[in-house]
Structure 1
Amino acid sequence: MNLSSLYKQLKKRLRQKRRWLSLGFFIAAAAVGLLTLFGSRSPDIAGDAALTAETLAAVRGGQAPQAYVSEEQRQTLEQIRAEGGTRDVFVRRSYVCGEEHGLTGRMGTEEIMSFHQEHPTWKVELDANGSVTFTEQIDDLSPACKQNAYFGVDKTGNLSLFEGPPDNEKVIRTFFQLNTGYLESSLPHNSLEELKKGIPVIDMAEYNSVLSTFSEFAVEAAENVMIPAQ
């Protein structure tokens, strides 16, 4: 059995159970949502309007909306402004898997403030050497991860994300302990060995799908499934 057929069989096995769980969750969530909407919408209208007006005024005035700026960020920006001078400015792109980091250039204080206004949601850090780093959080895989990231099982039985095939043992991130006994009993012979060879991850859809599928075989989830009937 190749790895592709193993993964498809796993998803097929779990699809029917999830369909019923999803339906129940949707009905419950819809009920809660309706109660919340009708119970709390009216008192919030004035607050929403005020927030919208404040945000529009900030944008028209060339300023970042205050909702985006934490107290820590304000203090960092105030320190940069107070000290003045020019600084090296870096941009870090932090992905779900992977990271990119590069020098943007040297900027004066006003240029740094303008850059922040252009990217108000990016975190601003003042490094010990006086340089400034802006960090953007990206809900995606980095280009490098899309080419060379694999899900697999480490030596202690954890579902992990690896740089390259799991045999290289370069763990990027560890998620949860797998109940390997339950996994082997639920799938054809040697399925665990196939999993150890690694599942390549090319996009976020595949990333989320693998995590969702194998969460059914996490130690706690599997133990709940295997509780004997009284």
Structure 2
Amino acid sequence: MNLSSLYKQLKKRLRQKRRWLSLGFFIVAAAAGLFTVYATRSPDVPRDEVESAQTLAVSDTGPSAEAREVLNQIRETGGKRDVFMHKVYVCGEENLLIGQMASDEVVSLHGEHPQWSVELGQDGAVTFTEKIDDLSAACKNNAYFGLDKTGNLSLFEGPPDGEKVIRTFFQLNMGYLESSLQPETIDQLKEGIRVLDMEEYNSVLSTFSEFAVEETEKVMTPAK
């Protein structure tokens, strides 16, 4: 089985899973909507419960307490300092030198990107960290899913036989896996499945998560 056929199979399984997730989300959203309509019309439901139903999650986009403390230190000390950018990808990291910046420029830059974390080194250098939902350029060039020696689904730098593990995800139930998938797919996993972008990354990870030891134990354990 070539990679094109393998990805078609993996994407088909991922689409099936997404349909079930979408249905579940729709049911939850509909239930929340019905409760909100009922609650707003009923005097017996406390107002705070109505507001909770209307707002499922509230995100604070401002700087964290730690970031505010660092920024205050930078303001107080003033002067110019080296500023670095640390990019943390789903797979891979990158470190870049932005250059020297005055204290007010550092504070202003963080104000434009409050989601970045910020650290002040002992030498006075500032490091911003950004989390990116993507693969780094290095991973896009040379990342493979495969099996490590103990049967864990892992991400490798290069083919799995090089044993350069970037990240380990979960133990696979090999018996269940081999009885459920085509032999060609198992062979491809052992040789290494190359991933070029997040769609392929998510397709592989989502498909094989069904064969994680914990998940298969739930399926195989009879209800009490």
Q: 2:91 aligned to 81, 97, 115, which one?
A: 97
Partner of 2:31: 32
The letter for the 2-side match of 1:32 is A
Number of aligned residue pairs: 211
Q: How does 1:130-141 map onto structure 2 within 5 Å?
A: 130-141=124-135
Q: Which runs of 5+ in 2 are unaligned?
A: 40-46
Partner of 1:147: 141
Contact kept? 2:14, 2:207, Cα under 8 Å:
no
Q: How does 1:178-217 map onto structure 2 within 5 Å?
A: 178-189=172-183, 191-217=185-211
**Following the alignment from structure 2 to structure 1, what is the Cα–Cα distance between the partners of residues 197 and 124?**
36
Deviations 1:174-207 (A, max 9, x none): 1111101110111233643321111111111111
- The reply on whether 1:73 has 2:67 as its aligned counterpart is yes
Report the TM-score when normalising by structure 2: 0.80
**Following the alignment from structure 1 to structure 2, what is the Cα–Cα distance between the partners of residues 228 and 16?**
28
The percentage of aligned residue pairs carrying the same residue is 60
The letter for the 2-side match of 1:135 is T
- The reply on whether 1:226 has 2:186 as its aligned counterpart is no
The letter for the 1-side match of 2:33 is L
**Following the alignment from structure 1 to structure 2, what is the Cα–Cα distance between the partners of residues 201 and 148?**
8
- The reply on whether 1:160 has 2:154 as its aligned counterpart is yes
Cα displacement (A) at 1:15: 6.4
Which runs of structure 1 show a deviation greater than 6 angstroms over 4 or more consecutive aligned residues? 40-43
Deviations 1:197-218 (A, max 9, x none): 1111111111111111111111
139-148 vs 23-32, greater mean Cα deviation: 23-32
The letter for the 2-side match of 1:187 is L
Cα displacement (A) at 1:83: 1.6
Partner of 2:43: none
Partner of 1:56: none
Partner of 1:114: 108
Deviations 1:114-149 (A, max 9, x none): 222222221111012220001111111112211111
**Following the alignment from structure 1 to structure 2, what is the Cα–Cα distance between the partners of residues 16 and 120?**
34
Cα displacement (A) at 1:103: 0.9
Partner of 1:127: 121
Q: Which runs of 5+ in 1 are unaligned?
A: 52-65
Contact kept? 1:159, 1:177, Cα under 8 Å:
yes
**Following the alignment from structure 1 to structure 2, what is the Cα–Cα distance between the partners of residues 36 and 137?**
36
Partner of 1:84: 78
Shift of the 183–67 alpha-carbon distance from structure 1 to 2, 3 Å rule, reads: closer
Report the TM-score when normalising by structure 1: 0.78
